[in-house]
Structure 1
Amino acid sequence: MAHLTTTERRRAKVRRAVKAAANGRLRLSVHRSSKNIYAQVIDDVAGHTVAAASTLEEALKGSLKTGADVEAAKAVGKLVAERAKAAGVTQVVFDRGQYIYHGRVKALADAAREGGLEF
């Protein structure tokens, strides 16, 4: 078995905890880079993505100053919540990945809650 880096270990640890707590709910997964932020609602049982949003989309790109700030994260959170509700999803479990629940990750989560997702 290959040795995992610190971030890979942290990501796996969080993912294990999230899946254990999921109770059949779908997972709202967040990925952030230095320039953008991405969110997906994933059905782990079926193995497919139900809804997704990111700052790379044309609809968001024009209205945002940058894809790497709290305002962009709020816009993505609101959009992914809208799309998840349209797909019939209201309850999810939040997967922050290797990122601490702070700043952009927290802003995305709060916006998704305001958009109607429960977690």
Structure 2
Amino acid sequence: MKFSKKALLKLKNKNKKLKPNKYKKLKRESLRGSVKGTKERPRLTVFRSNENIYAQIIDDIISKTIVSCSTLDRDIKLKVNNGRTCEASRCMGEKLAKLSLKKNITKIVFDRGPYLYHGRIKALADGARTGGLQF
């Protein structure tokens, strides 16, 4: 069964025939439609799992990842015991900002994906801002 985006949102509101993964994909696509990365302002995208958090800076025009970082990186693992804390996300944001400044990237567009701007996502964004990136 194929539904339009409008129909999928109505079904989600009625809790009928819409699985969580379909809703997550729909939400991600609706946000990604308005957020595009260019050479001057690449897109910082975030993926959050239960154990770790991953981020990468992408140039959407050439579809290439410029910089990537995660809480599995050695530097961050040495600083923080657990990858699912806000402190780990903040450290990762600062490291990502340091890596992107080496590649002469100062301005970015933040793509939070289907996640709320709260908790670990917010901590990552704050860490990137303190590291020198401008959103």
What is the TM-score when the length of structure 2 is the normalising length?
Answer: 0.81
In structure 2, the CA distance between the partners of 1:35 and 1:2, relative to structure 1 (3 Å rule), is farther
Letter in 2 for 1:81: A
User: Cα RMSD (Å) of the superposition?
Assistant: 1.7
Letter in 2 for 1:69: T
1:86 aligned onto 2:126: no
In structure 2, the CA distance between the partners of 1:101 and 1:59, relative to structure 1 (3 Å rule), is same
Q: For the residues of structure 1 that align with 2:58 and 2:2, how far apart are their CA atoms?
A: 27
Moved over 4 A (4+): 1-4
User: Which one is further off, 104-113 or 52-61?
Assistant: 52-61
Give CA-to-partner distance per residue, 1:17-58, whole Å, 9 cap, x none.
Answer: 112xx5652000111100000111101111111111101111
Q: For the residues of structure 2 that align with 1:57 and 1:2, how far apart are their CA atoms?
A: 40
- State the aligned residue count: 117
Larger relative contact order, structure 1 or 2 (CA cutoff 8 Å, min sep 6): 1
Select the residue among 79, 87, 97 that pairs with 1:63.
Answer: 79
Alignment of 1:1-119 (within 5 A): 5-19=22-36, 25-119=41-135
In structure 2, the CA distance between the partners of 1:42 and 1:2, relative to structure 1 (3 Å rule), is farther
Question: What's the secondary structure of 1:50's corresponding residue?
Answer: strand
Unaligned runs of 5+ in 1: none
Question: What's the secondary structure of 1:62's corresponding residue?
Answer: helix
Q: For the residues of structure 2 that align with 1:18 and 1:55, how far apart are their CA atoms?
A: 24
Q: For the residues of structure 2 that align with 1:41 and 1:114, how far apart are their CA atoms?
A: 17
Question: What's the secondary structure of 1:97's corresponding residue?
Answer: coil
Q: Identity over aligned residues, as a percent?
A: 44
